[in-house]
Chains A and B, each alone.
Chain A
Amino acid sequence: MPESSHLRRILVLWLVLSAVATPVVVLVLAPGLPPGNDTAEASAQVTDNTVLLGIVTPIAVLIFVYFAYALIVFRRREGEPEEGTAVREHRGIQMTWLIVTSVIVLFLAGYGTVRLFASGSGGGQGADPLVKPSGDKLQVQVIAQQWEFTYRYPSFGGVETPHLVLPVDQEVELHVTSLDAIHSFWAHDLGVKADANPGVDNVAYVKPTKTQTFDIRCAELCGLWHGYMFDTGQIVSDASFEAWIQQQQSQFAPATKVLPPYNTHYNPAPRRRAG
C-alpha cells in the first residue's frame, strides 16, 4: 500500500473520532467536573478545564489512533520479510511538528496567563496579590495551627471562631497564615487553595454564589493529624451571617479579650526550642 493511503486512513479516523469525542468531552463531561459552579473561582476553573480538555482531546485521539493503526497495520506477520523500511528522517514533518507543538504550548501559556489575570484563580497569591477583584471585600483570616483551622473576622471586633461561615454573593478576601508548620487551606468546593506559611500572609479571593456547606481540608503534610485537619464551612444568606457572627461574638467574648491585636501574621512564643 502506498504511503499516502496509510496517511489518509489515519487522518480520516482521527477526524471522525475527534469529531465525536471532542464535543462529548467538552459539552457533556467537562461542565460537570469538580470543583463545580458554586463560586466565581470554581466556575472559572471549570471553564479553564473545559478549554484545556477541548485542546487535549484531539491530541489524545491522534496519538491513540496513530499507535493503534501502526501496531495493527505495521506488525510483522508470519512469512513477511523481517526488515522495515529504512527511512531516517523527514525535515518537513520535523518542522511541522515543532511548529504545531510550539503553537499549542504558547497558546496554552497565553490562555492560562489571561485567565489568571481575569479571574485570580482562587489560589493563594502571597501578601501582595497580583490580581485583586474590585469592590468591597469581607476580610477573613484563616489561622492554621497544628492541627486545626480557626478563623478571625477583623471587621467584627477581631472575633476568632473555630467555624468558617461566609455570606453569599460577597467578595471574600482570605488571609491565610500559620502559627507553626506549613499547612494548606483547601476549600475544594469553593475552588480555593492557599498554603499557610508561618509568618506569611497569603491572600486568596473567593466569591460564593450559592448558599451551601463545603468541605475544608489541609492539603499540605503538617504532621501527625494532617489527615484529620478537616472541617465543614457554610455559605449563608446575609441575614443569617449577621445573626451568626453576633452569636459568635458573644459566645467567644472571653477568648476574644485575650487575643493579640489583629495582624496579617503572628509569631507566637516559644520562638525556638521550647524548654
Chain B
Amino acid sequence: MKSLTSRVIGIVIAVAIVAVAITFYVSGFLRSPTPIAAGQIGPGQAQLTLGTTPAVGKLGGNPTWVSFLVREGDQWKHTTNFDVPAHSLVKVTVDQYDGQSGLRNPFLSQVQGTVGGVMTVDGQTMDAINPQEASHTFAVPQLGILVPLPGVADDAPNQCAEMPCTLDQAHKTITFTIRTGEKGRYRWQCFVPCAAGFNDGFGGPMQTIGYMDGFVHVV
C-alpha cells in the first residue's frame, strides 16, 4: 500500500480541488447587474432616464432579447437596478424604441401611483393608454406604481432594431414623476408579454433580472 505521506498529499489535493469547484459553483449564482444611481437635479429631486429596445444587441449577454436600459451621460448602460434617493421626487424619462405588444390584462393600462396619477407621452398628459398599444410597463407593485408605456406604431419609419438606439430613430418619450418614501429595496417588472418566442410572451427576458425585471433601491 502507498505510504501515509502520499495519501495525505492526495487528500490535500482532493480538498483543494473540491474547494475550487465549490467556489466556482457558488460564484456562478452570485452575478447580479451593477446598480446605477439616479442623477441629482436639485434638493430632493433626482432624474432617471430609461430606454427600451426590441433587442439589446451587443450590450447584453442575450443579444436577441428585449430589454430596459439606463442612460448615463450619453451612454446606454445595460442594467435594471437603480438607486434613487429616499423622500424625494424622482423624474423618470423613458425613451421607448420598442413596438406594440398589448397587455394580457387591460386593467394595467391605467397609470397608478405617479404624482397626479398621470404621465406625459410625447408631451401629452395621459392617465391611461389603449391596452393594445402597450409595449412595456414600468411597475413597482409594492409601491403601487404602474406606468404603461405605449409602443412605437408598427408602420413607423426608421425603427430601431437593436441597441444602441438614437433619438433620431422612431421612439416615444414618456415622462412621469414618483415620490419616494422610506428606504428599501423594491422589485420592479414589466407586465406586457413582450418576450418574443416564449410561451405567453412571459419567459426569458420577462423572468430575468437585467432585462424586464430589476430592483429599485431607495437609499
Contacts and interface: CB of A to CB of B under 8 A. Distances in A.
Contacts, number: 80
A225 B112 CA distance: 20
A224 B213 contact: yes
B131 A258 contact: yes
A181 B194 CA distance: 16
Nearest to A143: B105
A112 B19 CA distance: 52
A255 B111 CA distance: 9
Interface size band for A: 20 to 34
A258 B202 contact: no
B179 interface: no
Interface stretch (A63-71, A78-86, A206-214, A265-273): A265-273
Given A224-B207, A258-B131, A269 B102 contact: yes
B176 interface: no
Given A179-B105, A228-B187, A275-B196, A270 B201 contact: yes
Given A147-B189, A224-B208, A260 B202 contact: no
13 contacts: A148-B191, A150-B105, A180-B200, A181-B200, A223-B207, A224-B209, A228-B187, A252-B110, A254-B128, A255-B110, A259-B106, A268-B105, A274-B201
Interface of B: 101-102, 104-110, 112, 127-128, 130-131, 139, 141-142, 144, 187, 189, 191, 193-202, 206-209, 213
Given A181-B202, A228-B187, 12 more contacts: A143-B105, A181-B200, A225-B213, A254-B128, A255-B107, A255-B108, A259-B106, A259-B107, A268-B105, A270-B201, A273-B199, A274-B193
